[in-house]
Amino acid sequence: MHGTDRRRQLIETALDVFSRKGFDGATTKEIAVEAGVTEAIIFRHFPTKQALYTAVVHAKRDPAEIEAWMAAVKSFIGRNDDAGLFREIARAMLACYRDDPRHERVMLFAALQGHRQTLVEHRRFSLPIMKLLTDYVARRQKEGALKPGPPGAVIAAIAGMASHYAMMTALFGFETGAKDDEMVDAFVNILMDGVRARKSKAGPSKAGIFKARKSKAGKSK
């Protein structure tokens, strides 16, 4: 097998093992067995288990895909399209689990096992994106387009709804019977409008007026 193909195969196999056991529970020997090679082959391409793990984490960050997504996000920001931006965030969160939930499992293991290096790298990658989004929300709040409040809470709300739903369905096996697009639209509507039913602007109903008059009549007696 060509060197590039072998490296790709090892990363794919390691992703599968790390997603089931995390960094602490997986061994290079187990990965080698599942890949059908010797441990020596693994260390020929990756000097350490940590190097292989790092390659697995980075493998799902395709620069071209990230650039395309950032271009879409900046397009929504440039048009002041609040709902469109929130919809894109929710869609992307769901896509992470739908495309390949193994990578999300690896990151969950990293958090649970306290794999500091991976978490630091994840924050280094994510924080600039979070700042871009929260800065936008803060600006829209100043412009009066969005309600005041912590900008980070707005982004956490839309990302949290989508990621939790994705986790429930992709990792825990819950079935909702709803399509992802329907759920994304629902999340955006909840974020933009809330879930409390709006009171009718019309006057009180005839039944309400009748009850009020009856109550007053009873008191007058």
Along the 221 residues of the chain, how does pLDDT read in single tens digits?
A: 677 899 999 999 999 999 999 999 999 999 999 999 999 999 999 999 999 999 999 988 888 999 999 999 999 999 999 999 999 999 999 999 998 899 999 999 999 999 999 999 999 999 999 999 999 999 999 999 999 999 999 999 999 999 999 999 999 999 999 999 999 999 999 999 988 887 766 555 545 544 545 555 555 54
Give the model's pLDDT for residue 77. 98
Q: How far apart are CA 77 and CA 131, in angstroms?
A: 13
C-alpha to C-alpha distances, 206 to 107, 202, 209, 215, 216, nearest whole angstrom = 59, 11, 5, 14, 15
Give the model's pLDDT for residue 61. 82
- For 64, the 3-state DSSP assignment is helix
Give the model's pLDDT for residue 34. 96
Give the model's pLDDT for residue 137. 97
- For 73, the 3-state DSSP assignment is helix
Using the 8-state DSSP alphabet, how is residue 113 labeled?
T
119, amino acid identity: L
208, amino acid identity: G
Q: How far apart are CA 134 and CA 131, in angstroms?
A: 5
Q: Is this model's pTM higher than 0.85 or not?
A: no
Give the model's pLDDT for residue 180. 96
Q: How far apart are CA 94 and CA 165, in angstroms?
A: 8
Give the model's pLDDT for residue 209. 46
Q: How far apart are CA 147 and CA 51, in angstroms?
A: 45
